[in-house]
Amino acid sequence: MLAAFEKTLPLPFRVRRSDLLPSLSPPRCVRNLSGGRPSTTTIHPDIAAPTTSRSVNLALATLVRSRQFESAISLYFSACRSSIAPDFTTLNIAINCCSETGRSNLALKLFDEITNRGFTPNVVTFTTLIKSLCREGKISVALQIFNQMKENGPPPNAFTYGILIGYFCGKFNPQNSLCFIVEMLQFGLEPSDFSYNLVLSCLCKKGRILAAEVLHGRMIKLGISGNVVSYTSFINCYCLEKKLTYAKKILFEMQEKGVPPDITTYNSLIHGHCVNAKLEDGVGMLALMASSNLSPNVKTYTIIIGGLCKERRIEDSLKILKAMIKEGLSPDKFTYCTLADRLCKDGRFEDALQFIHRMEKARIRNDVVVYNSLIDGYCKTGDMESARRIFDQIREKKLRPNVISYNSFMDGFCKIRKSEVAEALLLDMEGEGICPDLITYTTLICGFCKEGKLDKAACYGEEMLSKGQMPDTVTYKVFSEGIRRAGVLHGSEKLLHFASELRKRAMS
């Protein structure tokens, strides 16, 4: 069964020794245990000074129970200075305290001290040390120690694997996490429900839908239920893949398994429907949300407003905004920016500006996105004076124009046959440290072609190629149309060279 499970995984998810770091001996550390970060924490006054290793252990246990880890470390060193030899339990407790206080280097020294005193580290010792190293991001050392366990014993247990799975999932590395799951099964260890859900969620967040389906299938066979995080990630992944039917099936599975969906679950479903032109079905999710005793939040309303704006239903969007405010919810930056963008596209600039003023009144910090919508809208109507005013406001508001700001502004000037002004903006843009992109160069090429300045267009075309910007079919068509309109059959060497290069790259 395990072999069949592993075969169903995509090649990148199958376990190979090379997927993990090679087995190496853990580093031997210096023995100056009292070195490192000094502790200024005082020991609990109710704890009498211990005189034997057993009384030291009892005192340490008391401090650990009250999470006084620094005090426990101080007590350990105090006992050592009093010539009370630590036993195996003492050292294990001290290593755990180092793990809890982010002192993995000291934990490594104490680990060496265990073997120096003739004790044999057990699985708890190794696992605690690995946990300490993972918490501090020292994964290479953690894997060295993990491989030592596999080679020399004691063998790692499910908790050891769970720590490493958690680390890699936290780094959004589902491949290594899944490798550990498969390796556990090979060694006869069953991952915990938490580990399964963690890996499932990570796979979904990285868009590894096939591997997620395989893992989910195994969980179903074992009777393991997902949790709200993994189920929501699964739903979101299906929505991104435009598999809305599958996303709904996961919602129904949640309800059958007794895992109540939360607001994020429903928001993922509503968003998935809205971006896939299923707005009415998305709005219908509000009834399901109400049946779960959940109320829409700001994000829910913003998603629906975005869906309505995408369908050019601005009046309906404004009605949703009013309903949202009536429910006592305050629109956020994304709500206002979504509405302002639609209003700009519809040429309703004054209304869009009203929303910007409302944002400022509500002390919601604007970003360049909303100003870009205004610049693009004004440029499309040929109102370059208003576009210039908004462009200047970006700096007045202590914001920084981005490549989209410049591209929209340059396109506006090119449309009114003022490509030289657009050219000047390119120099300003580069002076600001903003790199031109394919749209920037295509805009300039288009502008100069319309004015019959093909050599100038070819210059920017060659600059585009030299900077690694690959032309697309739009660039090729723009330049070809410019040549056709100008009736140019023969041109400069630069013009002919660019035309040839453009044709080859656009068609490749």
Q: Tell whether the model's pLDDT for residue 395 goes beyond 70.
A: yes
Q: Which of 186-190, 433-437, 458-462 has the lowest mean pLDDT?
A: 458-462
- Which residue has tokens 């499910």? 158
Q: What is the pLDDT of residues 62-115, one digit of tens each?
A: 999 999 999 989 999 988 888 888 999 999 999 999 999 999 999 999 999 998
Measured in degrees and rounded to the nearest 5, phi and psi for residue 126 equal: -60, -45
Q: What per-residue confidence (pLDDT) applies to 498? A: 65
Q: How far is CA 30 from CA 94, 146, 506, in A?
A: 17, 21, 62
pLDDT by residue (tens digit) across 262-295?
Answer: 999 999 999 999 998 899 998 888 988 988 899 9
Band of residue 52 on the pLDDT scale cut at 50, 70, 90: confident
Average pLDDT over residues 107-130: 93
Q: Determine the average pLDDT of the residues in 126-142.
A: 94
**Has residue 246 got a pLDDT over 80?**
yes
Percent of residues, the chain, with pLDDT higher than 90: 58
In the chain, the percentage of residues whose pLDDT exceeds 70 is 84
Place of tokens 């009536």: 326
Give first-to-last CA distance, the chain, whole Å.
Answer: 46
pLDDT tens digits along 314-355 = 999 999 999 999 999 999 999 999 999 999 999 999 999 999
DSSP-based helix, strand, coil % in the chain, nearest 5: 70, 0, 30
Tell me, what's the pLDDT at 98? 92
pLDDT tens profile 166-221:
999 999 898 899 899 999 999 999 999 999 999 999 999 898 999 999 999 989 88
Q: Is the pLDDT at 33 greater than 90, yes or no?
A: no
pLDDT exceeds cutoff 80 at 27: no
The two structure tokens encoding residue 109:
């020294």
Evaluated on CA atoms 9, 15, 19, 21, the torsion sign reads positive
